[in-house]
Amino acid sequence: MTPTSTAPPQDVFQIGATSFSFSADSRVVFEDGGMRFDFKAEHAPEQGNPAPHLWSSGLFHFDDRAGEPHRVFSYPHTDPDSPFHLYVQGVAYGLRFFGQVDLAPDRIALHGVLRQEHHDDSQGTPLHLVRHFPRGQVRPKPRDFHSLQAAQAVPADTVRHLSLRQQWRPDTPRTDRFPEEVLAFTAIESLILDYASTGHARFTELPEEIGTLQQLTRLDLSNTSVQHLPDAIGQLGQLRHLAMSHGMLTSVSEQIAQLPHLERLDLSYNRLTSLPEAIGHMPSLKALNLSGNAFTSLPASIDRIENLQVDVRYLPLFRDMRYRPEIDVATSAEPFLASSSPAHAALLHAGLARHGLLAHEPALLRHARQALRWRTTQPDAPPVRGGTRFGGAPDLPPGLPYPTTDGKPWHFYAQLDLDAIAGLQSWLPRTGRLYFFAQSQDPSDGVRVLHDTSPRSSLVPHIWGTEVDSVDDIDVSRAYRGYRAVVDATVSLPILYNAHGRYTGDDAGLMDIHGDDALSEVYNTLAEELSFSPDNQHGVHLQNAFVFTQHDSPEEQSVALQRGNPGEWVNLLRLGSDRHPGFEFWDAGTLTFTIHRKDLALCDFSRVLGFIESS
């Protein structure tokens, strides 16, 4: 009788011809029903090779496709949603693992090669790793299916999660029908149908049978041509997350209010013009995304929802957006518009004529702004007391403290001599100076603008002292360099990027410029001529100008924080990244200070807001 072997299973850590031992701090971690590993090698023997290090990111969970938790699969996955990702260090730069992964609660094995992504396996170095360990506690999760064919290959009542996501390619298939095959999965809990575009999902209705999927907790239908969210949605009593985004939706059934557990509702980027009143009274709804629609009415009840996303221009439909209604002061948009100044209107007309854009002059006259363009020129040495300065240190009168937090100074950006520019505009205070500060470049931190009319002779150049750090722990010895600047009056043209909702009706023709590559190039050339440095040798900073942003403008962001409407907010100063003083706002971005017209008329700069925009 042959005796049964009791030898412990052998671990292997082999790369090419070199064998390694697992270091003492190699480990496998079990938590929340999943597992992850971190394997490090001891230094190789005599060759002195560096120690390889392989680890998995995040937790890997087994699924319930078999009774025993065990997975064998090829890596890298072709499935971008795979929960398993493997990282390698301690080898030549750019090498990745390609091969077979074998995972179990008491054993991990990797068998394949280390190679560059653009090489084939024959050019790689073989890797064989086996690690045994005491069996850990795992909790299999319902299997995620990423194709209809795979889901149909198992009993229908075992499918819990189905995610069908299209990637846009020239040969991506298009369909005219909802995939009714999914209705067979009566125990499904999560259904995601994400099409490449509405043109790839041309069906306009959801089947009433969607209401039979009683176990659904998540339903996500993106980029479809569905026009109406049907009554049957109200039958999905377990639903917690519902998304119908980037589609053609024009109406939502009142029955949506019958979903007692719904927490998140995403109806963004559709064609909705109104919503049922009852949406705002849904007991569990915490997040509602309505961005990118064209509403004509909205129920006041949605204002109670904790996380509400809606385009700023629609806030007045359900919220009192008056700015400081207790303050009665007359303001007008006229002083800020190019159309109210013959000189600015002539400058605009000449530019439009020069670039063949006169057909758009009426619309542009309704929006183009009078602006001031500052260009930094030379170091402010010796400093001109009370003069305009970008960077450096301010000249403050006695009794006006330098802004600090816990004794640490804020960043100083600019000091503008208002007497020197009184003849160039009519909307700023006529005398004194404006000082611009920001706590740091963190979006959550504040800004401050101070206005002072003290005699120039009373001003004292600010001195920080030695070994002082700013609020964000930057030594003030590295403060921005002080630079002088020249200024001229110019015209600022509207930013047309992502602006379809801003220019509608009689002004919709402006978006024709943005939609035409040739016109857009000409328009941008004119905008740069008017608002930037012609020789690119000077940093440019603007007042009362339009500011490029990826999404909401500074004026719209101001409305979201302090109410009013976007046309009532003024971009008091837009600072650009500038090599002269050393301004750098994130990645070549901008810092914009905004003020409401009412506060500007009162010379009240205590409520100025600040916004950084960067790519």
Q: What is the pLDDT of residue 82?
A: 59
In sequence order, the β-bridge partners of residue 488 are 373
pTM greater than 0.85 (yes/no)? no
Here the contacts of 154-158 (C-beta below 8 Å, separation 24 or greater) are 154/65, 156/184, 156/185, 156/186, 156/187, 157/185, 157/186, 157/187, 158/64, 158/187
Q: Give how far the C-alpha of residue 523 lies from the chain's centroid of Cα atoms, to the nearest Å.
A: 27
Q: What is the pLDDT of residue 144?
A: 80
Residues 6+ apart with CB under 8 A from 46: none
∠ Cα 145 151 153 (to 5°) = 135
Q: How far is CA 412 from CA 444, 594, 596, in A?
A: 17, 17, 22
Starting at the edge strand found earlier in the chain, the sheet holding 609-613 runs 447-452, 433-438, 411-417, 389-390, 483-492, 369-379, 540-543, 569-576, 590-596, 609-613
Backbone angles phi, psi at 305, to 5 degrees: -75, 130
What is the rounded distance in angstroms from the CA atom of residue 595 to the CA atom of residue 575?
Answer: 15
In sequence order, the β-bridge partners of residue 411 are 438
Say if residues 202 and 226 touch (Cβ distance below 8 Å): no
Residues of the chain with pLDDT under 50: 80
For each of the domains in the chain, give its residue range(s) and CATH number, in order of start. Answer: 12-132 (no CATH), 144-317 (3.80.10.10), 335-613 (2.30.320.10)
Task: Residue 570: name the closest of 388, 442, 434 by CA.
Answer: 434
Residues 6+ apart with CB under 8 A from 596: 323, 324, 558, 562, 564, 568, 569, 570, 607
Query: Hey, is 379 helix, strand or coil?
Result: strand
Q: Which two tokens stand for residue 134?
A: 């005491």
What is the rounded distance in angstroms from the CA atom of residue 246 to the CA atom of residue 584?
Answer: 35
At 522, which helix (H) or strand (E)? helix 517-531
Say if residues 237 and 262 touch (Cβ distance below 8 Å): no
Here the contacts of 236-244 (C-beta below 8 Å, separation 24 or greater) are 236/210, 236/211, 237/261, 238/214, 240/264, 240/284, 241/217, 242/218, 242/266, 243/219, 244/270
Query: Hey, is 567 helix, strand or coil?
Result: helix
CA distance from start to end of the chain:
75
Task: Residue 314: name the closest of 247, 353, 267 by CA.
Answer: 267
pLDDT digits (tens, 9 = 90+) for 7-20: 678 999 999 999 99
Q: Which two tokens stand for residue 320?
A: 């009192």
pLDDT digits (tens, 9 = 90+) for 104-123: 999 999 999 999 999 999 99
Q: What is the pLDDT of residue 2?
A: 53
Q: What is the pLDDT of residue 98?
A: 96
Task: Residue 569: name the closest of 312, 351, 274, 318 by CA.
Answer: 312
Q: What is the pLDDT of residue 468?
A: 77
Backbone angles phi, psi at 507, to 5 degrees: -100, 0
Q: How far is CA 128 from CA 19, 20, 118, 125, in A?
A: 10, 11, 21, 10
Q: Give how far the C-alpha of residue 576 lies from the chain's centroid of Cα atoms, to the nearest Å.
A: 20
